[in-house]
Amino acid sequence: MTTSEIPIDPSAAPPPDAVDDHLRELDFDPAAAPDPEGPAPRTVIFDVGEVLVDETRVWSIWADLLGVSSLTFASVLGAAISQGEDHHVVFPHLAPNVEWQEFVDEHERRFGGLQDVDVYADARPCLQELRDLGFEVGIAGNQPAIRTAQLRRLDLPHDVLITSEELGSEKPDLAFFAAVLELVGAAEPADVLYVGDRIDNDIEPAARFGMRTCWLRRGPWGHLQEPPDDLDIDLVLEGLGELPLLLAEWRG
């Protein structure tokens, strides 16, 4: 896309009442989540970004490197997501004369790898509870291979941990989900629940592959994306706190 496609026409902004209505729509009651049918999954696989890990530091550091405020970066990122664009369009839009790829190493240096402070407060207790309940727990997202060692250092409870780079395929490719299925040794895709924040990268392809799905409505994508009407999502949550209980109830 061209950089001129990102700005949103201010005259197209919805009236305040419409904004209130939209916010009310986003106020999900977990009890109102779709009632899943069929046997409960035995394995739960978690995406990383905005599911287990809060990516605020990632984007703030990119804002610094591009010379814009975090607010500006977040706003343009939100506009790109709303328009169904890849997040990479944000870089040439904000800094057309900068080759952002040249700053990847500097970004990683400033980021210093994943830290405890990046982990969502509800992530660790959820993973532990699920393991205590006898569910197999996996962590698998679109991440560079260097994140594996960083995730291991965080000592998050898990049985399986793998990145897209190690798997050799990235979401939304179904090959990613097939590789995860093979890795956990599940007989059927429906034995696995994939927990993700993105409709396009996580929920839609996981469901198409036949996995059970849990859409976590947090982070920029989780708040901005809307599922197509015909997409059957098993669980819709705003946090991970209730997931172990919901899965235990589903299992019966």
- Chain positions contacting Mg ion, by CB under 5 A: 47, 49-50, 197
How far is residue 151's CA from residue 132's CA, in Å, rounded to a whole number? 20
Burial track 212-234 (b if 16+ CB lie within 10 A, e otherwise): bbbbbbbbbbbebbebeeeeebb
Query: Of 57 and 248, which has the nearer Cβ to Mg ion?
Result: 57
Contacts of the segment 96-99: beta carbons below 8 A, 24+ positions apart: 96/3, 98/66
Strands 43-46 and 235-237: unpaired
Strand partners, 52: none
How deeply is 87 buried, as exposed, middle or buried, from its count of CB atoms within 10 A (0-12, 13-18, 19+)?
A: middle
Query: Of 191 and 197, which has the nearer Cβ to Mg ion?
Result: 197
Q: Smallest distance from the beta carbon of 180 to Mg ion, in angstroms?
A: 14
Q: Smallest distance from the beta carbon of 197 to Mg ion, in angstroms?
A: 4
Q: Smallest distance from the beta carbon of 47 to Mg ion, in angstroms?
A: 4
- Whether the Cβ atoms of residue 133 and residue 43 lie closer than 8 Å to each other: no
Query: Of 47 and 204, which has the nearer Cβ to Mg ion?
Result: 47
For residue 213, the Cα-to-chain-centroid distance in whole angstroms is 12
Query: Of 47 and 118, which has the nearer Cβ to Mg ion?
Result: 47
Q: Smallest distance from the beta carbon of 134 to Mg ion, in angstroms?
A: 26
Q: Which residue is nearest to Mg ion (CB)?
A: 49
Query: Of 48 and 63, which has the nearer Cβ to Mg ion?
Result: 48
Q: Smallest distance from the beta carbon of 177 to Mg ion, in angstroms?
A: 14
